[in-house]
Each structure stands twice: as structure tokens, then as C-alpha cells.
Structure 1
């Protein structure tokens, strides 16, 4: 049995917690929560499962000293990068392997060399292993695109794009404070209005893709475009007034010499907003070269909520990575360096 700590119980974290509890090969030994109202609550009650006997806690230090093999870390690294990296380094140094979700963990060195140094030092100190992954970023560009390259003779450009409707995504902090929905388009308060910061969400994905293909990034350009809503919208995260940001696209373009890589996220709060932008919900990878090709992936293909199903896919990517991380030599890995893995639910 692999002893697991679930760190954070937001949308993705709650889905992860539910599946950890339901697995015969995983033993839940701790749950980190940030809401004092959740502290002391049985883990099963937090995710609609039977009681487990494991109580959630908001005591960070208590979990650092809890015996565990791996931590599924799903803290809000987009809005608290220093704090989340400090958590991960302390967990690694305590001897626990850590699998993270969140854009800034996909390839820490492309974000900040000192953050990557901290993770590598913590792995050495704790004889532990780190892996950052996700869905987008964290799977589509980093894993799916390199596989598609196997059937090409050459590529001049590779485009990776996510198109979603976030009206059902309930994270107020991410939707408003980080992304900037519901703000006037000229308001620079939200984090992603800084195009450099917006680019940092995807530079890790582009870097891992480049590494997987043996390319060297020579230059990077980030961008962000927004469109306003002509009417007030009520969405899961709150109220979006008329005349404020209701749709956006942002990403990064990486110059790799003969090959250009583009990684983009596009999301709306209503399907009719920004009608001139790509509209087909899902994930797309396209190669311009020989042959030209395009693949479109829909998660939630039976008319389920796409945002929720994407969170589930993110959670399962982390859970299914556990055996590969446990088997790896100590150190910091990304999806181009970890041993390839598949789901480990067969026979469970």
C-alpha cells in the first residue's frame, strides 16, 4: 500500500481525494485543508465518501511530520507561487515524494532558476522525487504532442490549444483575481493582465515539449487578448457585469529556429462571446509540416461538464503517476524525463 497525503481540497483536490479513498492500493494518511471550517472533518465527508478515520487538518507542520510515501500537491500555485514552492520543498526535504498540479510546477527551471534549485536541493536532502504535471498544461502539449511527432517527416509549427467554457468553474480566486473575468478590460489588477505573467503559465509546457522533441528555445513571446460581455452573466464563480471581461485567450509562442511552438488557452463565460475566435470545445494539437495534421480531444464527450471532467482528468493524471514516481531515482523530473506511465487501475 502506498501512503498518500492529499494536499488541498479544491475542485481538483476533492476529486483526487475521492479516488484515493476508493483505491485498494492507496492508503490515505493525511489531508491538508486551508478553510478552518474543514479542519477536523473526516476526509470522506469532504468528498462524498464513507468516513475514513482520517481527519483533515489546516496544520501544515503536522503533515510535514506525517509518515507518507507521496503527496498529491494541489495548492494554488498560480496565486501563491512562493508559498506553494516552499510547501513542496519542505515536503520533499522531509522525505516524501511529491506530485504536483499547476502550471508553475510543469517545468520550474523555465519559470525561475532559483525555484528549480530549491526543489532539486530538497530532493537531495530528502532522497525524494518531484514531478509536475496536469492536463493543460501538464499533458496535452507535453505528452500527446510528442507522440504525434512520431508520424511526421518534419514540422514548421506546432500549435497546442485549449478551448473551454468556464461558466461552471467555481473557483472565485482563479476566475476573478487571477484570470481577470468580471474586470474592466483596462484594469490591471488581475494577475494575468501582465503578459509576462500570463506567458509564465505556458512557458513550462512549451519547454517540456521542446525538450521532448530535441529542440532549443531561442526566444519566447507572451500575449493576452480579451473580449467583453454585452450583458451581465451569473456563473458558478460569481457575477460578471456587462461591459467587463467575459472571454480571453492567452499563451506563449516559442521560437525554436526552424520550428515554432505555440501554446494557448482560450476560455469564455458564454458560448456566444468572441465569435471570431476558435469555438470548438476541447483540446487541439496541430502540426504544420509534412504531413499536416490535427487532432481534437474532448474530455467529457458524453455531454458532461467539460470543466469538471478536465479537473477529474488532472486528478487522475496525478494518481496514475504514483507508481512511476515511486520507482524513479530521487530527483526532479518533468514529463519529458520521467519514465512513461499508463493508468494503474487494471486489476485494482
Structure 2
């Protein structure tokens, strides 16, 4: 069994703990929390379930000293120095908050991986799946690729993180506040990496990456997780990253985040497809895929348990055996074999040891 530490217990962190508990190769070994209120509590209490026998800590040194194979690193904002310390302690790191396709500027973290004999892997859903892995996999069915697009259409009323929505993402504020917020810069860190991975892997040369940010305001009060959004306040945002060759867009990644489809100016809508992810590859032949299921069926359902957040956590957790087995260094999805989930525990009943070669073939920790 691989011993896993969960770092931070927000929505993704809690879902990751659930995924670890259901994965036949993994066991929860520790948990880092930022809040003093959570420190010292059994992780089960933090999740609102029965005790798990693992006590959360807000002491970094406790985690660094722990005997563990991997850390699911899921804070709101990544700290490279923090990640380097984890890596040097001999623990692999899987994270949804960065390092999907890092540049040569990440030599310090590459060295930390080598010092600890471990790997760092960024993954998730968007970015980290739909924005580079899935388009590239689908491109295998096409020759002479001319265009790749990945686009998300989501109702943000299902995202139960009011502080993030208001103070990080800028919803409920003025358009000027949203334009001046750090959101575009924060998002660009990951999405530009996704664009570059597509460009490099497809072999598209001399492309320039451009970003854009559009805003819609409420025309009447809108109920949301952060409270009522008043008329004139930000109620929808579109971000896009285009790779352009000459005057032609060759790769586009975009997100459409709306507080519902009513009372918006401009009058944006999801269209007949509803909430979804779209992946498009143009070439010979064209490919067009729509993904449903990663957005909840209702606002109430999303506030209880958002499947997009769960999918993000699952992609991280399911990557752990592959990352542990990889050679030390920063490893992207291009460096790993296809990552798969595992069967429901009920389907493994009666099997003394699951026959999963990614575990038996892993290297030992230093």
C-alpha cells in the first residue's frame, strides 16, 4: 500500500481523501490543515464521517517527518518553496494547482525532486485534463491538425466557496474590480501551460499566446453562494487563451463561468447543450466531443457535492501510483502511462491482493 498525505481540506482536499479511501493501492497516512480549528481533529470529523484514525496537523514539520509515499497538495494558492520542502523530504507530490507543463524556470523544483528521489506532477480537470490531455489523446484520430479547442461552460452558483468567488474570482464586485483582480494572472499560469503543451506536442511553431477577459453584470438581483449579487455587479466571466499563428487561432482554451443564465448583460447563455465541457480537433477528420456529468444536475446538488471538484481530486489520486513509479523529476501527463481509475471496493471483494502492476513495479522511496 502507498501511504498518502492530504495537504489542505477544502473541496478538492476532502474529495481526495474520499478517493484515497476507495483506492485499493492507497491508504491515508496524514493530513495537513491551515486552520488551527482543524488541527488535532480526526480527519473523519473534518469530513463529517466516522473517525479514520488519522489526526490532522497544522505543523509542516510533522508532515515532512511522516513516513509517506505521496502528498496530494491542494491549497488555494501554491507555494513553490513549500512544495520543494515536501519533495526533499522524499515524498512525491501530485497537485491540481500547478506544474502541468512547467518551463525551464522550474529548475529549483526539478532539483528538489532529484534531491528527494521523487516526482512532481500537476493534474486535475481544467487545467490538467480537458485542456491538454484529452485534446491530445483525441488528436491521435486526426491528421493535419489545424485547430484544437477546449472549453468549459459552468454555472458558478454550484461552487460552494463564497470567499473564493468574491475575493479571488471577483464575482459580486464591480467590473473594474474584476478587471484589476489577480484572477487572469492566476489562471494564466496553468492555462498557458496547457496551450504550450498542445502546441509543442502537435508541432505547431511560432505561435503567440493571447488572453482575454470578458464580463457580464447582473440586471437584477441574483442569488448565489456568496449572497445576493446586486444589479450592476459582476455575474458572469469569460476567460480565453488563444495561440495564434499569423492571424489564425490554432489552439483555444476558454472558460465560461456564469451565475445562471438569467438577468445578465450581455445576455449570455449556455445554449442548448447546457453546462458541459467541449473538446474540438479540426483536421482530417474533425473530432467534436461533449462531456456531461462533471457538472451537477442542480444548484442544490452542486452545493452538497460538486462532481467537477470530485473529478479534479480523482484525477490527482488516481495518478499517485504512476507518479510514485516514475523516474525522479517534474513529470507531466506526457511522461506517464495512461492513468486509470480503480474498481469499486465491492468488486475487489475476495481478492487478497489486487493485481496492479503499477504498485509492484514502483521504485522504493529513499
Does the alignment reach a TM-score above 0.5?
Answer: yes
Q: 2:240 aligns with which of 241, 251, 258?
A: 251
- Aligned counterpart in structure 2 of residue 275 of structure 1, from 256, 267, 275: 267
Q: How does 1:162-173 map to 2 (within 5 A)?
A: 162-173=152-163
CA contact (8 A) 2:147 2:249 kept: yes
Aligned mates of 1:166, 1:42 — CA distance in 2 = 31
- The 5 Å alignment of 1:15-30 reads 15-30=15-30
Q: 1:91 aligns with which of 72, 78, 86?
A: 86
2:101 to 83, 89, 107: 107
Any idea what the Cα deviations from partners look like across 1:44-75, whole Å, max 9, x if unmatched? 12223321221111112211111110001111
Out of 156-165 and 264-273, give the one that drifted further: 264-273
How far is the alpha carbon of 1:233 from its aligned partner? 2.4
Contact 1:169/1:237 (CA < 8 Å) preserved in 2? no
Once residues 278 and 292 of structure 1 are traced to their aligned partners in structure 2, the CA distance between those partners, rounded to angstroms, is 23
* Structure 1: distance between partners of 2:76 and 2:210: 25
After superposition, the C-alpha distances for 1:4-51 in whole angstroms (9 at most, x for unaligned) are 000110011111112223444322111111121111110112223321
1:72-99 residue CA offsets vs partner (Å, 9 max, x unmatched): 111112xxx4xx2222111011110000
Alignment equivalent of 2:126, drawn from 122, 129, 136? 136
For 2:223 and 2:29, the matched residues in 1 are separated by 38
CA contact (8 A) 1:199 1:221 kept: no
Distance in 2, matches of 1:155 and 1:230, equals: 42
| Mapped contact 2:84–2:109 kept (Cα < 8 A) | yes
Runs of 4+ in 1 over 4 A off after TM superposition: 195-198, 256-259, 304-307
* Local SS of the residue matching 1:181: coil
How many residue pairs align between the two structures? 336
227-236 vs 5-14, which moves further:
227-236
Q: Which residue of 1 aligns with 2:281?
A: 287
Unaligned 5+ runs, structure 1: none
State the superposition RMSD in angstroms.
2.2
2:204 aligned residue (196, 207, 215) = 215
Alignment of 1:11-160 (within 5 A): 11-77=11-77, 81=78, 84-102=79-97, 104-109=98-103, 113-114=104-105, 116-160=106-150
Q: 1:152-231 alignment to 2 at 5 Å?
A: 152-187=142-177, 188-192=179-183, 195-216=184-205, 218-231=207-220
State the SS of the aligned residue for 1:251. strand
Contact 1:168 1:237 in 2 (8 A): no
Q: 1:171 to 1:143 in 2, by over 3 A?
A: same
Separation (CA, whole Å) in 2 of partners of 1:256 and 1:328: 35
Q: Is the 8 A contact 2:261 2:269 kept in 1?
A: no
Tell whether the 8 Å contact from 1:100 to 1:131 is kept in structure 2 after alignment: yes
Whether 2:321 is the aligned partner of 1:327: answer no
CA contact (8 A) 2:242 2:249 kept: no
Conservation of the 8 A alpha-carbon contact between 1:196 and 1:222 = no
The Cα shift of 1:292 comes to 2.9
Whether the 8 Å CA contact 1:217–1:254 is kept in 2: the answer is: no
State whether residues 218 and 233 of structure 2, in contact with CA within 8 Å, keep that contact through their aligned partners in structure 1.
Answer: yes
Secondary structure of 1:140's match?
A: coil
Match of 2:340 among 333, 342, 348: 342
Structure 2 CA distance for partners of 1:301 and 1:314, relative to 1, 3 Å: closer
CA distance in 2, matches of 1:146, 1:255: 18
Matched residue, 2:351:
none
Relative to 1, partners in 2 of residues 1:336 and 1:212: Cα closer, same or farther, differing over 3 Å? farther
